[in-house]
Homo-oligomer: A and B are copies of this chain.
Amino acid sequence: MIETPYLLFLGDAPDPLAAKVAQGIKDWRPEYAVGQFRMEGCKADMGLPDMSLAEAKAAGCKTLVIGVANRGGVISPAWKKVLVAALEEGFDLASGLHNLLRDEEDLAAVARACGRQLHDVRVPTVDYPIANGKKRAGKRMLAVGTDCSIGKMYTALCVDKEMRARGLKSSFRATGQTGILITGDGVPLDAVIADFMAGSIEYLTPDNDADHWDLIEGQGSLFHVSYSGVTLALIHGGQPDALIICHEPTRDHMRGLPEYKLPSIEAVRDMALTLARVANPACVAVGCSINTQHMSDADALAYCAEVEARTGLPTVDPFRHGAGRLVDALIAV
């Protein structure tokens, strides 16, 4: 568990896109995003107060989160002075970068000397059990997609936000690095050992109140040959009561697989439902979430209407249009 709130480290981000982890935290957990730390030449700006380490400490920040990615995911030597000073000031550090904080000898030594934590969220820290498939109390929604990187995390976060706004009980359950940094907790599923994948999701979504919703971040796609096993572990470990099918209409092939076309929304719905019902016979598909970021307003609305007519399921871009209709459908389950 990563201690909150955060000071978001933007470093020397060459452009706003390089700071998309910080952007995700600021978009989805503004209450955790107390301030930003920018180095000379930083081209990203979250619109948060620029703070020195001492100011952030005084404002209650507990963890400095590396909210920026370099090309190659490395920990830049230019950042080291700040990171070392942050440990000395009493901050923990958190990172989702490919290169690990713990593998930097200087950071590891200072963290040890100062009694601070280094959180490398790409690495599982729990010995997850093997899944036992036992029915758990509470409700669970899983976002499944026609492809990878198609809006499954944003869909679950939009639903969570709408549920919270209505005073309903919900938890966004992160299964990837950015989601974990947004929430401070979760399972880095793509780094879990095969035998324990489904068990890690059971661990992530334990028994809960009967009217509580776990909103589980999906990963991969049943139709993406590189990662489909991860997706199926989510479906069986999550034992969802409800699925939301995610799609991005402008993509012309599966991410990273130029020879593979995207499946239809209907094919994903039918396959995911059949498999989900092995673990939870009551599972239903409640809606479709369309990532319309590359479409005009008119095209976005027209496309959603077309999918809704075809599938009979409420269909929206929850980030653009709000998740109200998806939440209506979930609470009707």
Binding site for B on A (CB under 8 A): 130-135, 189-195, 197-199, 222-223, 225-233, 235-237, 239, 256-257, 259-260, 263, 271, 274-275, 278-279
A197 cross-chain contacts in B, Cβ below 8 A:
194, 229-230
A256 cross-chain contacts in B, Cβ below 8 A:
130, 132
Asked if residues B260 and A227 are in contact (CB atoms below 8 Å), the reply is no
CA distance A298 to B89 in the complex (A): 78
Each complex incorporates copies of this chain amounting to: 2
Asked if residues B133 and A257 are in contact (CB atoms below 8 Å), the reply is yes
A192 cross-chain contacts in B, Cβ below 8 A:
193-194
CA distance A237 to B194 in the complex (A): 14
Instruction: Please name 18 further chain A to chain B contacts, defined as beta carbons within 8 Å, in addition to the given A132-B257, A271-B274, sorted by A numbering.
Output: A130-B256, A190-B193, A190-B194, A192-B193, A192-B194, A194-B233, A195-B230, A197-B230, A199-B226, A222-B232, A223-B278, A225-B279, A226-B236, A228-B233, A228-B275, A228-B278, A229-B233, A260-B278
Chain B residue at smallest Cβ distance from A193: B191
A133 cross-chain contacts in B, Cβ below 8 A:
225-226, 257, 259-260
Chain B residue at smallest Cβ distance from A230: B194
Asked if residues A225 and B190 are in contact (CB atoms below 8 Å), the reply is no
CA distance A191 to B194 in the complex (A): 6
CA distance A227 to B195 in the complex (A): 6
Min CB distance A239 to B, Å, is 8
Min CB distance A248 to B, Å, is 18
Tell me which of A189, A227, A236 has the highest count of chain B C-beta atoms within 10 A of its own C-beta: A227
Asked if residues A189 and B198 are in contact (CB atoms below 8 Å), the reply is no
Asked if residues B226 and A229 are in contact (CB atoms below 8 Å), the reply is no
A278 cross-chain contacts in B, Cβ below 8 A:
223, 225, 228, 260, 263
Min CB distance A324 to B, Å, is 33
Q: Could you give 5 example pairs across A and B, Cβ below 8 Å?
A: A132-B256, A133-B225, A194-B197, A228-B236, A229-B233
A233 cross-chain contacts in B, Cβ below 8 A:
194, 228-229
